[in-house]
């Protein structure tokens, strides 16, 4: 029997249209974009067309998009590159529930003498706007906030956050890796300095992402060498990935509203059964406009989440205990600790994330497997 994949927040399968767009660049379109002959020049033009496509999806300028190896590199570059460009300021503000790409980058800078302010969150995962504003001072270099949390689906009020940063003349970096394709993003409506995307979260290939850098914002390169990516990110371009990301972004934007509605409906139907059939709590906001539509994160009373996840895996239900970047840990994640899940529930956390291949008819099988799994690990 076919397994049921419920871990779309970790990664998505490559869309067939995306794959078809990429295939020629593995074979007949193999030219190095930096080569000054027909094969190279043609591929350089393709990269520029792809850059324009991604820029249009965000409603920004083409020259504000820089391709990277993924979201982690883009976030590292945003924070460290900006710190290198403006070394006179030594304080950075982030939330307690950032992705590890942000947390670990800031911990690295902490060792270099930077002071990191961690804004607390409430039980739903929302940051305190008042505490954010009160943390900003004349030595604040940057604010970095995750738009939609990858574990509990909390969608922050980026409009209000961006206005606070603008009022204090402080740069804002936003991790939009989970948000893009699920919620509407039009950067002309926000004062955001930098923004991170990763293609494999919206049915594109792995190993490709991008960093948006608003015109007028300076960042120093992380990778030195050639003149690729407008002299800002050296290395032969991953043209197959770039083409795939552009195509995936284009499809994601055209389908965003219907995708949101589909995932919202399926999440609602599955959630009704979960809370009816199990002693569990939903972590993060209630279902609706302030939560990612495909994200369901539950903590079960007196259950070890890793044991349940393993049992489900052996029975063809593929979920996670949280972020794939921390999947080898049996301890509750920093996100679950930050929202103060009760002690009797905190170790029993399982994240379910929905996507294109999940069907309403899969719900009874998912519920049945969870019942069997819980009975087996108690």
Please say whether the dihedral angle defined by the alpha carbons of residues 144, 291, 211 and 204, taken in this order, is positive or negative: positive
pLDDT of residue 2: 86
Structure token pair of residue 251: 């499809």
- Using CA atoms in the order 174, 238, 109, 179, what is the torsion angle rounded to 10 degrees? 20
Residue 291, SS3?
strand
Please check whether residue 54 is in contact with residue 77, taking contact to mean a CB–CB distance below 8 angstroms.
no
Please check whether residue 80 is in contact with residue 222, taking contact to mean a CB–CB distance below 8 angstroms.
yes
Range(s) of the chain covered by CATH 3.90.1150.10: 4-12+256-377
Burial of 367 (0-12, 13-18, 19+ CB in 10 A): middle
Domain 4-12+256-377: CATH class, spelled out: alpha beta
Range(s) of the chain covered by CATH 3.40.640.10: 16-251
Instruction: Output b/e per residue, 5-24; b: 16+ Cβ within 10 A.
Output: bbbbbbebebbeebbebbee
Tell me 143's DSSP state.
E
Tell me 199's DSSP state.
G
Cα–chain-centroid distance for residue 291?
A: 14
Tell me 121's DSSP state.
B
Task: Report the candidate in 87, 132, 134 with the shortest Cα–Cα distance to residue 109.
Answer: 87
Domain 16-251 has CATH 3.40.50.300: no
> Mean pLDDT, the chain, as a whole number?
96
Please check whether residue 217 is in contact with residue 194, taking contact to mean a CB–CB distance below 8 angstroms.
yes
Give the Å distances, CA to CA, from 120 to 170, 335, 371.
Answer: 19, 11, 35
Please say whether the dihedral angle defined by the alpha carbons of residues 122, 127, 129 and 135, taken in this order, is positive or negative: positive
Task: Report the candidate in 370, 6, 337, 54 with the shortest Cα–Cα distance to residue 181.
Answer: 54
Return the active site residues. 325
Q: What's the first-to-final CA gap in the chain, in angstroms? A: 26
pLDDT in tens, 311-346: 999 999 999 996 555 555 568 999 999 999 999 999
Along the 378 residues of the chain, how does pLDDT read in single tens digits? 689 999 999 999 999 999 999 999 999 999 999 999 999 999 999 999 999 999 999 999 999 999 999 999 999 999 999 999 999 999 999 999 999 999 999 999 999 999 999 999 999 999 999 999 999 999 999 999 999 999 999 999 999 999 999 999 999 999 999 999 999 999 999 999 999 999 999 999 999 999 999 999 999 999 999 999 999 999 999 999 999 999 999 999 999 999 999 999 999 999 999 999 999 999 999 999 999 999 999 999 999 999 999 999 999 999 999 655 555 556 899 999 999 999 999 999 999 999 999 999 999 999 999 999 999 998
């Amino acid at each position: 029997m076919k397994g049921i994949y419920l871990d779309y927040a970790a990664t998505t399968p490559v869309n067939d249209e995306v794959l078809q767009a990429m295939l020629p660049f593995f074979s007949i379109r193999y030219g190095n974009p930096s080569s000054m002959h027909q094969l190279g020049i043609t591929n350089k033009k393709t990269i520029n067309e792809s850059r324009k496509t991604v820029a249009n999806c965000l409603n920004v300028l083409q020259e504000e998009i820089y391709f990277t190896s993924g979201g982690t590199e883009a976030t590292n570059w945003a924070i460290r590159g900006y710190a290198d460009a403006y070394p006179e300021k030594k304080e950075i503000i982030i939330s307690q529930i950032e992705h590890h790409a942000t947390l670990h980058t800031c911990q690295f800078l902490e060792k270099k003498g930077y002071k990191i302010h961690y804004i607390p969150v409430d039980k739903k995962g929302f940051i305190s706007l008042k505490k954010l504003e009160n943390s900003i001072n004349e030595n604040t270099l940057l604010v970095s906030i995750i738009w939609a949390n990858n574990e509990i689906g909390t969608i922050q009020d980026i409009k209000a956050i961006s206005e606070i940063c603008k009022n204090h003349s402080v740069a804002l970096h936003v991790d939009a890796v989970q948000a893009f394709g699920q919620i509407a993003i039009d950067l002309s409506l926000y004062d955001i300095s930098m923004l991170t995307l990763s293609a494999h979260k919206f049915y594109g290939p792995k190993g490709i992402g991008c960093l948006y850098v608003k015109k007028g914002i300076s960042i120093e390169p992380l990778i030195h060498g050639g003149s690729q990516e407008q002299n800002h990110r050296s290395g032969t371009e991953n043209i197959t990935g770039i083409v795939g990301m552009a195509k995936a972004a284009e499809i994601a934007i055209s389908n965003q509203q219907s995708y949101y509605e589909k995932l919202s409906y399926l999440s609602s139907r599955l959630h009704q059964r979960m809370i009816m059939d199990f002693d569990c709590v939903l972590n993060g906001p209630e279902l609706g406009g302030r939560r990612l539509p495909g994200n369901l994160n539950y903590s079960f009373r007196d259950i070890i989440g890793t044991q349940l996840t393993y049992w489900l895996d052996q029975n063809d239900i593929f979920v996670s205990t949280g972020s794939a970047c921390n999947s080898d840990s049996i301890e509750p994640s920093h996100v679950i600790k930050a929202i103060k899940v009760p002690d009797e529930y905190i170790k029993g956390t399982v994240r379910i994330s929905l996507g294109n291949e999940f069907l309403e008819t899969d719900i009874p099988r998912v519920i049945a497997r969870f019942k069997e799994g819980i009975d087996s690990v108690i």
